[in-house]
Structure 1
Amino acid sequence: MTITQSPFEPTVTVFMLVKTSPEWLGFAVDHRFELLAKHFTPILKNHAANVSLRFFDVEFYSTRVTDIWMWDAADHHSYQLLVEDLRETAFWDRYFDIVEILTGVENAYAKNYDRPVITA
């Protein structure tokens, strides 16, 4: 999977903490990728102008969640439309349990006080 730069400046970033289900893990790896290509990828493409996704595997370090899906969105409404589409698939709370959703605005503290961003 290739990660590309978003074609927009994100207004909101959402971290979805998800856990793979036994059903998903019971599928052969090839079948998992077929399901992603058939159901998940078209949703990503449909929303690509306003929402981007990055995947993080965390099952090596956590038992509560196995993956983090990081969504950058041009605005809240675009993110909400994406979620509506995802909820109509088996990826939402069947193949993956949506454990927690954390929404944030990158560097809001600096923007709100008109200060420079602190970086390393």
Structure 2
Amino acid sequence: MSASQPPFEPSVTVFMLVKTAPEWLGFPVDERFQLLREQFTPILRKHEGRVRLRFFDVEFYSTRVTDVWLWDAVDHHAYQLLVEDLRETPFWDRYFQIVEILTGVENAYARNYNREVFTV
């Protein structure tokens, strides 16, 4: 998020479980970062202020997935538009296999029952 973009309250969070493909791992590290800058970053900028991404490496602890891409979005439509753009790149099921997508709403249990969020 840039300094000019105010923070937003996400209404949907998506945990995208992905596995790196041999093609991606075959690129030198510098080339991987160049591909991210050229192909991935413009999509993030296009959806800035409506969708936000956090990367988690999990290959140290899992063989089924290597990374979790955590997406926060202002609404389902914003997330859907982002996915449409990602699907037009080799990052979707070429450089990374999309293993599973888990969509959730943070603290929905409390909101749905008009209760205070339970936290420690």
Shared fold per TM-score greater than 0.5: yes
TM-score normalised according to structure 2 size: 0.95
Name the residue aligned to 1:20.
20
The answer on whether the counterparts of 1:16 and 1:68 sit within 8 Å (CA) in structure 2 is yes
Distance 2:49 2:110 in 1: 27
Q: CA deviation at 1:6?
A: 7.1
Distance 2:7 2:100 in 1: 27
Distance 2:28 2:88 in 1: 23
Partner deviation per Cα, 1:6-59 (whole Å, 9 max, x = no partner): 721100000000000000000000000000000000000100110000000000
The answer on whether the counterparts of 1:20 and 1:95 sit within 8 Å (CA) in structure 2 is yes
SS in 1 for 2:116: coil
* Structure 1 unmatched runs, 5+: none
Name the residue aligned to 2:62.
62
Name the residue aligned to 2:42.
42
Equivalent pairs: percent with the same residue? 76
The answer on whether the counterparts of 1:6 and 1:52 sit within 8 Å (CA) in structure 2 is no
Distance 1:49 1:58 in 2: 27
TM-score normalised according to structure 1 size: 0.95
Name the residue aligned to 1:86.
86
Q: Does 1:77 align with 2:77?
A: yes
SS in 1 for 2:98: strand
1:37 is matched by which residue type in structure 2?
R
Q: Does 1:102 align with 2:102?
A: yes
Name the residue aligned to 1:32.
32
Distance 2:17 2:71 in 1: 11
Root mean square deviation, CA, Å: 1.6
* Structure 2 unmatched runs, 5+: none
2:103 is matched by which residue type in structure 1?
T
Instruction: Mark the CA change 1:6 to 1:117 in structure 2 (over 3 Å): closer, same or farther.
Output: farther
